[in-house]
């Protein structure tokens, strides 16, 4: 049995790793059991700390707090980092989504890289760019950039504003994750809390995605944009990222095994190798 101990399963009603995993591994359950059998495992979201159960556990070290602390030079997240480190230290195994984040945790033991997975059946290139732009009242004859994020400093919204001022010929689509952390870009097409199908369409309206993040790791929205084969432009070309996207970033997603079909196989093989049955 696989137990999924999530902090938030799906905050915006979107299809997340958790909801996808439950579909792919139907016997898996949300939550933490009182006891674990010898063939059970808990997939523990790192901010929840250590799952104090005897048995197999896998720490999902997906949070970017270690990078945020390094880049933003702040101790604001130390109490959450303590929980993350406890989770990394006492779990049986550790996983990060890409090799770039592994060094933050290798002092606790070996770290395995497993993809979170992106829905490449949903996020894919669409042919009807013109009609999609008309649908969302986006100029059909201008170069269009898209950005997705919040006002959190790590997302680098200030860099989007700078880019908009530097090149006024570009029209900007700005997608805010939710109301609580939403800003506004004057002159751009601002959207808040959009469903995943609509996000796919907005990606397909654009000519490029602006990655303005201050952090080395790609955000999920960036993976989804790449799955739509949207070229990625960087605000900071010197920032070392997980990889440099090629002109066809969808190929990169597939090469990194982040498509859900391949990801499912990798997760299944991984768990089987740990003696887990489901």
Partner 1 sequence: MRISILSLIYKSPRLADWIHDSVTEFTPMIARREAQFTFVANDPTEECLHHLQSRGYKHIVVRNPHRSDEELFRLGFGAPEYMHRVYRAYNEGMRQAESNIVVLVNSDNYFSPDWLENLEKYLSQRVVVTSRLVEPGHPRHGVFPDAIAAAFGGTVDTFDRKGFLDFAEKTKETGLMVGGAYMPCMIFRSVALDAGLYPEGNLAGRSFDQVRRYGDEAFYDRLRRAGVRHLTALDSVVYHLKEGEKDDGPLSAERRKAPGFPPPVARPAPARRLEVVNRTVDGTATLGVRTWRLYLGEAGRRIRRIPRSPVEIARAILPSWAFNGLRGVWRAMRGKRVRDG
Which residues contact partner 1 (rule: CB under 8 A)?
36, 38, 49-50, 52-57, 86, 89-92, 106-110, 273-275
d(CA 181, CA 177): 7
| Beta carbon of residue 278, minimum distance to partner 1 (angstroms, whole number) | 14
Torsion (CA) 158, 160, 162, 164 in degrees, nearest 10: -150
Exposed, middle or buried by CB within 10 Å (0-12, 13-18, 19+), for 218?
A: buried
| Beta carbon of residue 269, minimum distance to partner 1 (angstroms, whole number) | 12
Nearer to partner 1, 34 or 169 (CB): 34
Nearer to partner 1, 105 or 147 (CB): 105
Nearer to partner 1, 55 or 158 (CB): 55
| Beta carbon of residue 117, minimum distance to partner 1 (angstroms, whole number) | 23
Is residue 197 a contact partner of residue 203, using CB atoms and an 8 Å limit?
no
Q: Any idea which residue has 């009182």 for tokens?
A: 34
Nearer to partner 1, 187 or 275 (CB): 275
Mind giving me the DSSP string for 158-176?
HHHHHHHHH-TTSEEEEEE
3-state secondary structure labels for all residues of 8-47 = CCCCCCCCCHHHHHHHHCCCCEECCCCCCCCCCEEEEEHH
- Hey, how many other C-beta atoms are within 10 angstroms of the C-beta on 89? 14
Nearer to partner 1, 52 or 238 (CB): 52
Question: Greatest CA separation found in the chain?
Answer: 61
| Beta carbon of residue 76, minimum distance to partner 1 (angstroms, whole number) | 22
DSSP state of 200: H
| Beta carbon of residue 62, minimum distance to partner 1 (angstroms, whole number) | 20
| Beta carbon of residue 91, minimum distance to partner 1 (angstroms, whole number) | 6
Nearer to partner 1, 16 or 47 (CB): 47
């Amino acid at each position: 049995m696989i137990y999924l101990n999530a902090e938030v399963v799906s905050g915006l009603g979107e299809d997340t790793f958790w909801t996808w995993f439950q579909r792919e591994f139907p016997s898996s359950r949300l939550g933490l059991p009182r006891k674990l059998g010898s063939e059970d495992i808990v997939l523990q979201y790192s901010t929840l700390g250590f799952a104090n159960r005897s048995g197999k556990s896998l720490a999902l070290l997906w949070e970017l707090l270690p990078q945020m602390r390094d880049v933003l030079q702040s101790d604001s997240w130390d109490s959450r980092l303590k929980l993350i480190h406890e989770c990394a230290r006492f779990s049986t195994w550790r996983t990060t989504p890409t090799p770039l984040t592994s060094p933050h945790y290798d002092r606790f033991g070996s770290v395995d890289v497993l993809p979170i997975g992106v829905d490449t059946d949903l996020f894919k290139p669409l042919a009807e760019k013109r009609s999609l732009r008309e649908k969302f009242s986006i100029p059909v004859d201008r170069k269009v950039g898209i950005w997705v994020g919040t006002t959190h400093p790590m997302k680098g919204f200030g860099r989007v504003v700078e880019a908009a001022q530097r090149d006024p010929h570009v029209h900007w689509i700005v997608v805010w994750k939710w109301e609580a952390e939403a800003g506004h870009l004057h002159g751009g097409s601002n959207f808040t809390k959009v469903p995943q199908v609509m996000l796919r369409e907005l990606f397909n309206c654009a000519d490029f995605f602006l990655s303005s993040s201050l952090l080395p790791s790609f955000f999920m929205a960036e993976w989804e944009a790449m799955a739509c084969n949207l070229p990625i432009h960087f605000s900071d070309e010197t920032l070392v990222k997980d990889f440099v996207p090629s002109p066809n970033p969808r190929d990169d997603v597939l090469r990194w095994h982040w498509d859900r079909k391949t990801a499912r196989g990798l997760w299944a093989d991984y768990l089987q190798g740990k003696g887990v049955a489901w």
